[in-house]
Amino acid sequence: MASVPIIPDSYNYVLAEFECLDPLLSALRLDSSRLKCTCIAVSKRWLALGSSGGGLNLIQKDGWKQRLFLAHKEGAISRVACCLHDEDYVAVATSQGLVVVWELNQERRGKPERIYVSSEHKGRKVTALCWDTAALRVFVGDHVGKVSAIKINTSKQGKAAATFVMFPVQIITTVDSRVVQLDYLDGRLLISSLTRTYLCDTEREKFWKIGNKERDGEFGACFFPAGKNSGNQQPLIYCARPGSRMWEVNFDGEVQSTHQFKQLLSSPPLPVVTLRLDPRYTGTSCSPQSLSFPKLLYLTEHCVMTWTERGIYIFLPQSVQVLLWSEVKDIQDIAVYKSELFCLHTNGKVVHLSLLLVDRCVERLIRRGFWTLAARVCYLFQNSIISCRARKNLPPDKLEHLKSQLDASTQQDLVTQLEELISKLEPLDSACSSRRSSISSHESFSVLDSGIYRVISRRGSQSDEDSCSLHSQTFSEDERLKEFPVHQEDEQVELDNVSHASVTVEADRNETFLPFSIPLSFRSPSPLVSLQAVKESVSSFVRKTTEKIGTLHISPDTRGRQEAKDEEQLQELTVNLIASPQEEKELEQQSCQLSEEDHLRDLKAATAEAITKLQDPLVLLEPQRMRRVLQEWLIYLEEKFGSKENSTSSIKKSKTVCAEEERAVLEENLQLDPTDGDPADKEQISILKDCSEKENTDETCVSKNVHENSTDLKGPLDCCFQVSPPCAIEPDVQKDLVELTTLCFELRVFSCGSGEAEESSDGSLPLAASWTLACRFMRSYFFLLDLKRLKQCIITMYATTPNVWETYIAGLKELTCHSPVALAMENEDMLKILKQLHDLGPWDDSPLLLVHAQRLYEKFGEIALRPLIKFHPSILPSDIKQLCRNDPAHFLAYLDSLVKSKPEDKRSSLLRSLLQPESVRLDWLCLAVSHDAPQRANTVDAEGNPRPRSHLFTWGYSQLILLLIKLPADFVTKEKMADICKSHGFWPGYLFLCLELDRRIEAFTNIAHLDDLSLLNGEDGSIPETIEEWKFLLHLAQNHSTAIHHHGPQNGNAVSNGSSSGPDCITVENVALLLAKAIGPNRALPLLQECGLTLELSERFTGVCEILRIAEKRQRALIQSMLERCDRFLWSQQA
């Protein structure tokens, strides 16, 4: 095994990338050539990404979810700054020099609003933004050296400010050159320009130049706050100087000393820990680096960070040391918050790095399951791992566990290196060793970041007395946290994952698997928690037993009176049930056995009879007769597996019973609403009473009320599902039951008499009442439904009633609540969950994958949709459309990514296969032309005609739109697509459809309005083919030129390329030249004379025609010469 250079023990810190932000940028559409990230800022809560399209994306760092998108029409975003002391404010600078201040209104849950727009720097490039550390004030610097201050006034500052008084912009100063960096601290503003650094007292309006020597180039400067334990020490200032130097300046602007880092930077670079590349360390020193530091940023305590085109450098300036430097290429900008670094690269990519101790880095890698990378880092930094401090976070048993996770056959080198490292570890002191040995027989333990040993007892390994004695001998959690203060560097999120609370809860379920320890809690729950659990358990037992006894012993006629008994009788019954649970248990078992023997036999016979009837062609081809057969069979199914309500309704089949059942559905919906005294509920209850009086003549009132109450229905999501058979069913019988039950759902036969309610139509309930019964049907017989057919039926038949889909998803969640993916959804990150889903495949078209996709979307939002592309066709766009029905833009982004994931020659066939049914083509087209599209006012004028050059606008989904348009379709669909394109102003698609529909005159008219001669080309058939078409186009050009001459340009704010008389505009002369090229100058000139347009032609036309004549003559001569040579060659061959 070749020796690997070891990093010296003087390096204890490392830069590490634990999560890749590429999926986030992809979800935000910031990874394309058209749109990319231009600037970056970070705060405790937000990651702000400005784009070249003028949009600002605010992503919540907790979970990386996009929360806000702020649009700007003033150009691309050039700078952004978050207010650190009040994260409800953000300042943005655009490419036009405008500065916009936003109030996000997150506390009041309102919409973000612009509260200030400054045009002080309009027409200039804003190069620096900086917030005041105490007040709502923004400092702005531009490329000519002007520095201004914007004071913000909002309603948060009291009633006096509720009128939103707009303070004027304050000009701070104008320095001699471009502003490179701004920084603010305790009333002092630091301005770094290309030549020197200035210190400004903004309150007393005093200014100082720092140092006497000027410089030339981009050099940054920053404040260095005094530490927490520094007493009355004032902050310092560090200014970058040429040749890898820094000035250390006091708070009054006086240079104290100069620090030289040139020789210190001759050390080899430390590797960045990332999954993208294996960490490498050369160990060979490089030449001293003489660098210019373009910006200086304060990073955590005692550190100052900078970067160059070569890498990232972190210094300890007070002790004149280099903490580390690592090679990271092509950095455009870096935003920091505490120990987090967000690097924006020149290609628009964003990388999230963390500065942390090596042992913390290894521990986090182990927690995330990156075993190989953790082992490599351990070996490279083994000198730091062996140190006593690192031993607290990486004890030998944790390293042993890491070694056990490696593959000994393929990773023998890593295993050997880890064994070598473990052998170098010395045992801890005797006290720690004795304590570990004393508890090792009964408990496992792990070490927190603070050095606390968390002991986890094995269930059943010792008596209760031993547990109590151990509990009494250990500190309480609060006491131990007071005694050992936890280090709050960058592990706050991860500490939550291993807190005692989570261990206690999960240990009761016996499902926790913490690394390096057996997952049982050594602390008993508190007495209050225990009593509460006992109370809930007894209450649940009483409620369930009461329902079962009532079902077994009380007849349907007396059930209503029995439920209406007073509270004292119910309490007496509860006491009796608790006193004799064994007797009730035996009675229940005996009743279940009798019921299974009787009813299952009848159900089998009824199932066989129903299948025989359905095989009759006279029944199979008559939907109403099929419904009658299913209604008769459904009686037996409800008797065996149905609920109390369904069992009662199955005895009678008259219209009165049907109306009663519909009324019961409405009553159930009303009971599900917890609000008392609602006027709407009172109105519905009164309608119920009227229906009960007129149930033979007024049946439609129930279904009408069900429809009115559909918006408040919560039952399908709250009630439990029957996801497993209540008793054993033979496979053949279950197959027949599934077939008939699914057929009942597809034909909307939800109860024994539901088909008779409207026998005059198709024998089924109206949709308004049907979907409510469909939800209850799914809950009752979910274990007997074909989930694939059920999903397709819901998508096609209940597209307008989302409650049915929600019920279906709720049933799938109940079915998969104990799956590994569902359990991992709580704590794992998205990439791990996606990998787990991929490993559990192949999924084919299983609906279980759909519910996992639903969970991912609910937790991570739009960012979770794009990775689902690799699961196609197990997950179809129709499924994603159901998931994103509340936000169609998310579905559109998924569909666009899915199509673009295929090669160009296969995209059309893929899209055509997805258009099932064909009607979704128009829906998708409407979505595509209405999202990420230019404003309609910019593409269509007041008369509905195209604005000049409006076809050159960029459409976010233009490729998808053109693919949808070019797919084969019938004439009516093509016409509808043409109308959609015209109404939204998508002129490339509209012109294509006009030519395809043979509406050539309309196409030429719109081309004339668009004023682009390049649209008249022969590739797509848009060039005139007949003399009449040429005449029409010439008259259009003449009228168009006249209109522009009299009225001026119609599209002053639209895209414009050249003047109205340029070589690519629709003018008489340009069209005449195109005519001459198409049919020849000799035929073109008489046609122009016939149209009376020769007076509008210039000498340029005459010259071009002469050139065309000469070219035509030479071409004819060349052709004649070639023919003669061919003729002589052929004759010579014959001779």
User: What is the tens place of the pLDDT at every residue in 264-291?
Assistant: 999 999 999 998 888 888 878 888 889 9
| Inter-residue contact 342 to 40 (CB < 8 Å) | yes
The pLDDT, as a whole number, for residue 293 is 94
* Cβ atoms 79, 39 nearer than 8 A: yes
Q: Say what the pLDDT of residue 766 is.
A: 58
Smallest Cα–Cα separation from 849: which of 836, 831, 859?
836
> Could you give phi then psi for residue 516, rounded to 5 degrees?
65, 20
Q: Which residues contact 179 (CB under 8 A, 6 or more apart)?
A: 127, 128, 141, 142, 143, 145, 146, 147, 191, 192, 193
Identity of residue 507: A
How many residues appear in the chain?
Answer: 1135
Whole-angstrom Cα distance, residue 454 to residue 295?
Answer: 43
3-state secondary structure of 1012: coil
Helix (H) or strand (E) holding 334: strand 331-337
Tokens 């603010």 sit on residue: 184
DSSP 526: P
In the chain, count of helices (H) and strands (E)?
43, 30
Under 8 Å between Cβ of 1075 and 1016:
no
Residue among 877, 981, 980 nearest 920 (CA): 877
- List the alpha helices (DSSP H) in 1011-1098: 1027-1047, 1068-1079, 1081-1091
What is the torsion angle, in degrees rounded to the nearest 10, for the CA atoms of residue 686, residue 690, residue 693 and residue 695?
Answer: -120
The tokens 């008249």 sit on which residue? 1016
User: Which residues in 618-719 belong to E strands, given as ranges?
Assistant: none
Query: Which residues of the chain carry a pLDDT beneath 70?
Result: 1-3, 154-166, 229-231, 388-390, 426-599, 642-719, 752-769, 1018-1021, 1041-1063, 1094-1096, 1135
Neighbours of 343 (CB within 10 A): 22
Q: Exposed, middle or buried by CB within 10 Å (0-12, 13-18, 19+), for 982? A: buried
For residues 864 and 868, give the distance between their C-alpha atoms in angstroms, rounded to a whole number: 7
Residue at token pair 């972190």? 314
User: Residue 309's CB: how many other CB atoms inside 10 A?
Assistant: 12
| 1004 in Cβ contact with 1036 (< 8 Å) | yes
The radius of gyration of the chain from alpha carbons, rounded to an integer in Å, stands at: 39
What is the pLDDT, as a whole number, of residue 517? 32
Structure tokens at 445: 């333990």
**Containing H/E element for 336?**
strand 331-337
**Largest Cα–Cα separation, the chain:** 127
- Closest to 827 measured CA to CA, from 340, 1091, 494: 494
Q: Coil, helix or strand for 106?
A: coil
The pLDDT assigned to 889 comes to 86
The residue type at 340: E
What H or E segment, with its residue span, contains residue 859?
Answer: helix 847-860
Q: Collect all residues with Cβ–Cβ distance below 8 Å to 88 and sequence separation of at least 6.
A: 103, 104, 105, 106, 107, 156
Burial 135-146, CB ≥16 within 10 A → b, else e: ebbbbbbbbebb
Contact (CB, 8 A) for 16 and 361: yes
Query: What is the CB neighbour count within 10 angstroms for residue 95?
Result: 17
Residues 6+ positions from 432 with CB-CB distance below 8 Å: none
DSSP 139: E
pLDDT at 566: 40
Residues 6+ apart with CB under 8 A from 1014: 1064
What lies within 8 Å, CB to CB, of 494 at 6+ separation is 364, 367
> Exposed, middle or buried: residue 351 (CB in 10 Å: 0-12, 13-18, 19+)?
buried
Of 13, 12, 55, 17, nearest in space to 342 by CA: 17
Cα(365)–Cα(384) distance, integer angstroms: 16
Structure tokens at 996: 């395809």
92: enclosing H helix or E strand: strand 89-94
Which amino acid appears at position 794 of this protein? Answer: I
Q: Is 971 exposed, middle or buried (0-12, 13-18, 19+ CB in 10 A)?
A: exposed
Contacts of 232 (CB under 8 A, 6+ apart): none
Q: Report pLDDT for 570.
A: 38
Helix (H, G, I), strand (E, B) or coil at 70: strand
Quick one: pLDDT at residue 427?
Answer: 57
**Contacts of 773 by beta carbon, 8 Å cutoff, 6+ apart:** 665, 750, 751, 754, 765
Residue 769: the pLDDT is 65
The pTM score is 0.45
Q: What is the pLDDT at residue 374?
A: 92
CA neighbor of 859 nearest in space, from 883, 839, 843? 883
